Amino acid sequence: MIELYVLLGLMIAGAIIAIEVKNLLSAVVAVGIVGLGLSIIFLLLKAPDVALTQIVVEIAAVILLIRATLHRDIALKPCGSRPFGGFLAILFLGLAVLAGALTFSGGLNPFGSPLMTVSEFYPMNAVAGTGAVNVVSSVILDYRAYDTLGEATVLFTAVVGVLTVMRSKGKKKEEDLQGNNE
């Protein structure tokens, strides 16, 4: 239990650093730490598939995020907060925790004892039903393969979206249109 708390604390600390640090590169690195800590938690909570995916995605995201910070000189410029932001944030945080605390005590299962209604089915029948030893794999690619189709499509959409956004010229100029007509 204690390692979970320590790691969660590490993630929270990392997140605060990521948000409050002035240097953008440092912020990105701090987010990287948060993501890697998340991955360790996944590993410890017996979710190896997710942990593996989280690592690779984390690195990919960090690389992309670094790309976004463009030039070093900008990264080192300070970037402020909007006024009242801190106050509001604390207020909101308090409210959220309060709401969470109130709610968790009435309905959410305690940590460590999930309500496995449908999920009991999967470990029992996965090998016989799908032939995959990895139950998670059998869930994502057989029982819920349709979700995975959606997931693949989301990524495809993002790729086309990035291509779209990165076009240097979106609309044709008048002269181009003339050229086309002729």
Partner 1 sequence: MNAYMPYILCLILFCIGIYAVLSKRNIIKIILGVVIAEYAVNLFLILVAYKTGGRAAIFSATENIPPQSMVDPLPHALVLTSIVIGLATTAFMIALAIRLYGKYGTFDITRMRELRG
Partner 2 sequence: MMKLARWIAGTVVLLGLIALIIVLPFRSMFFQQNQEHIGFAGRVVYILILSSLMVLYRVLKGPTAADRIVAIDIFGILIVGLCAVLSIASGRSWYIDIGIAWGLQSFIGTLALSKYLEGRSFDD
Partner 3 sequence: MISESIVPLFVAIPLAGAFLTALLKRVKGIPDTLGVMSSVFTFALSVFFILRMQAGRVFVLNVGNWGGFHEVLGRIVGIQMVVDGFTIFMLIIVNFVAFLVAVYSVNYMTRYTEKWQFHTLFLLMLAGMNGVLITGDMFNLFVFVEIASIASYALVAFGTEKRELEASFKYAVMGGVASLLILLGVIFLYSATGTLNMGDMRAILADSGQPALIYLVFGLLLTGFGLKAAMVPFHAWLPDAHPSAPAPISAMLSGVLIKALGVYAIARVFFTVFGFPHQVSIILLVLAAVSMGVGALVALRQWDMKRLLAYSSISQVGYIMLGLGIGTELGVLGALFHLFNHSMFKSLLFLDSGAVEYSTGTRDMKEMGGLARKMPVTSGSTLAGAMSLAGIPPFAGFWSKLIIIIAAVQAHHMKLAAWAALMSIVTIAYVLKVTRYAFLGEVRAAFANIREVPAFMRISLVVLALVCILGGLLLVPQVREGFLDPAVRVLIGTGGM
Site for partner 3 in 140-179 (CB under 8 A): 142-147, 149-151, 153-154, 156-158, 160-165, 167-172, 177
Which residues touch 8 (CB under 8 Å, ≥6 apart)? 41
The nearest distance, CB 24 to partner 2, in angstroms, is 9
Contact between 75 and partner 3 by CB under 8 A: the answer reads no
CB 14 within 8 A of CB 31: yes
Contacted by 180, from partner 1, partner 3, partner 2, none: CB < 5 to 8 Å by type? partner 3
Helix axes 2-20, 24-44, angle to 10 degrees: 160
Judged by CB under 8 A, which stretch of 28-36, 40-48, 78-86, 121-129 contacts partner 3? Answer: 121-129
The nearest distance, CB 91 to partner 1, in angstroms, is 10
- Residues 54-93, one symbol each (x = binds partner 2 by CB under 8 A, - = not), give -xx-xx--xx--xx-x-xx--x------------------
Contact between 107 and partner 3 by CB under 8 A: the answer reads yes
CB 18 within 8 A of CB 31: yes
Residues in the chain: 182
- Residues 107-126, one symbol each (x = binds partner 1 by CB under 8 A, - = not), give -xxxxxxx-x-xxx-xxx-x
CB 35 within 8 A of CB 50: no
d(CA 97, CA 85): 18
Contacted by 179, from partner 1, partner 3, partner 2, none: CB < 5 to 8 Å by type? none
d(CA 132, CA 148): 16
Residues of the shown chain interacting with partner 3 in the complex, contacts defined by CB under 8 A: 99-100, 102-109, 114-119, 121-122, 125, 142-147, 149-151, 153-154, 156-158, 160-165, 167-172, 177, 180
